[in-house]
């Protein structure tokens, strides 16, 4: 009987969309930290969220326009923007972190300017 449950879970894992499985894992980690879910936060809220950086965009040294990163917590995506910086050590795709700041919204996109952050990942093990 226990084998049937195992086979169901294995079949589900093999057939589910990898993006959905990844989102579910990130959402579970976020819940475990007690962080807020991005999907439930609104403009103006002071938030603490835990998730993963999906992409990071830097600018040239002379431009100093800032660093932009796409943050995903398993429920929604939030754009993080650090102004006046051209690179931030440790801010790279795939890195897990906890961010704190005030949630803004621009053209339907949630974002946080100059968030406080705490990095997690291979360097922290």
pLDDT tens digit string along 58-113?
Answer: 876 666 678 999 999 999 999 999 998 888 999 999 999 999 999 999 999 999 99
Which conformational region is residue 69 in: left (phi greater than 0), alpha (psi within -120 to 50 degrees), or beta?
beta
2-124 CATH pick, 2.30.30.830, 1.10.1740.10, 2.40.50.140, 3.40.390.10: 2.40.50.140
Q: Are 82 and 70 in contact (CB under 8 A)?
A: no
At 105-125, the pLDDT tens digits run 999 999 999 999 999 876 554
Strand, helix or coil for residue 90: coil
Between CA 6 and CA 40 the distance in angstroms is: 33
pTM, two decimal places? 0.77
Residue 41 pLDDT level (bands cut at 50, 70, 90) = very high
């Amino acid at each position: 009987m226990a084998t049937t449950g195992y086979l169901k879970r294995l079949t589900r894992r093999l057939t589910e969309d990898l993006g959905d499985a990844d989102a579910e894992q990130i959402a579970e980690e976020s819940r475990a930290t007690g962080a807020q879910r991005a999907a439930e936060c609104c403009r103006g809220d002071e938030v603490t969220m835990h998730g993963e950086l999906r992409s990071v965009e830097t600018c040239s040294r002379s431009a100093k326009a800032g660093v932009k990163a796409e943050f995903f917590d398993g429920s929604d995506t939030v754009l993080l923007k650090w102004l006046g910086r051209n690179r931030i050590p440790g801010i790279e795709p795939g890195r897990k972190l906890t961010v704190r700041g005030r949630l803004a919204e621009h053209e339907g996109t949630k974002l946080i300017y100059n968030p406080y952050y705490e990095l997690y990942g291979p360097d922290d093990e």
